[in-house]
A and B are shown apart, each in its own frame.
Chain A
Amino acid sequence: MNRKQIMKAVLFLCGFLFILQTVTYIIRTNGLVKDRFTGFYAEKDNTLDVVMIGSSPVFPCFSGAKMWGEYGFAAYPLSSNMQRPMAALSLVKETRKTQEPSLYVFEMKQFTANEEDMADNMAYTRGVTDNMKYSWNRIDAINRAVPEVSERYTYYFDIFKYHSNWKTMVLPSQLACFRYEKQEPLKGFEFKDEYYPMEQVDYSQITEQEPIEADYEGYLRELLQYLKDNDLQAFFVVAPYVMEGEEKQEKYNYMQEIIESYGYEFKNLNEDTEEMSFDFGTDFYDKGVHTNAIGAEKTTAYFGKYLKEHFDLPDHRGDTSYKSWDTAYEKWSEQMEISRKNLKECIDKKEYTTQEPED
């Protein structure tokens, strides 16, 4: 084999890998999670001020657009359904490739889960790994999340899973993902226009501790150590929800102690629902697990203010490179009006959602 032939072979292979990557980006299953991640990658470099990492409580609850409109910092959720705790560190690393946020927010509910409930359902792992661009960090994320070595190749090369989506290749919205970058008009927020009445439970007097799963504690400590070593500002929170039993509170108490021992702040927003005038009777979308649009508005208002007051966050309003955020705020406000109306109708007619909660 001569030089020219080697060159040709290498070029052919590079071409193949490039097309493979592009095609995979395009046919990864379309949906809100994909939109959120492509939206994240589409953000201009070093423009995000806050990145919010966590499971499904994040994206229907904290509106980046509203925080922008009212406090002037850009907050983006990197969240997927049932996100698994080991993913948090990978997502921080992924963020740092293109962004230098002043603050990382971690929603902690996922750390109270039981691994056995999650490990089986690899869709949750894919929610993160199959929404990352190809990189070493992605490989690392897969290695951390997929214990079966023999299965990993279908994650490294997710075309193994998604090739059957080939029909979606004709959709313009899919084709736009060819670089896995596509502006997300609402900055990752999801409006939920349904409700289900719940009652608040108060576990604030519980001071006992219940250890979280040993693996999860490992991931938590690893994350904390990484944040500390790299001098990153972080804030650990729990979004409002109806906790299923005292054990959850005990687990939060346990985590709080660990988090504070690394010098970071932990806050369970369930304890502040009065200040944000959160109404458990109307502000949840499914059965007390996720907030609806109004619940989100209340939480975001309170949370945005809290961030602004307690952390050193800039005000970028008026900056031309943040134009898309102004548009997002407008869009959010318009949509919010509609949602408010929809929700009022539902509540007046007592039309509860039939949606079963899904983490």
Chain B
Amino acid sequence: MSREEVFEKLNEVFRDVFDEEDITVTETTTADDIEDWDSLEHINLMAAVEQEFGIKFTMGQIVTMKNVGEMATIILEKLA
């Protein structure tokens, strides 16, 4: 899967989780950029991403990932 494809899938997940159709995430998108992305939603988001890609994050990755770019990198690593 290419990085672009990962982002495309991520967009879908984000739109679904935050119930907003016009979300488009980029490398530098952070929790501050999306209104409802608080620490609670973060966990829900993680679960949704995991389900979508069929992977499992470690707790360490969940609490330290800084932006969507980092998220994509981790996903690609897991898929490789």
A and B touch in the complex (CB under 8 A): no
On B, residues with C-beta under 8 Å from A are none
On A, residues with C-beta under 8 Å from B are none
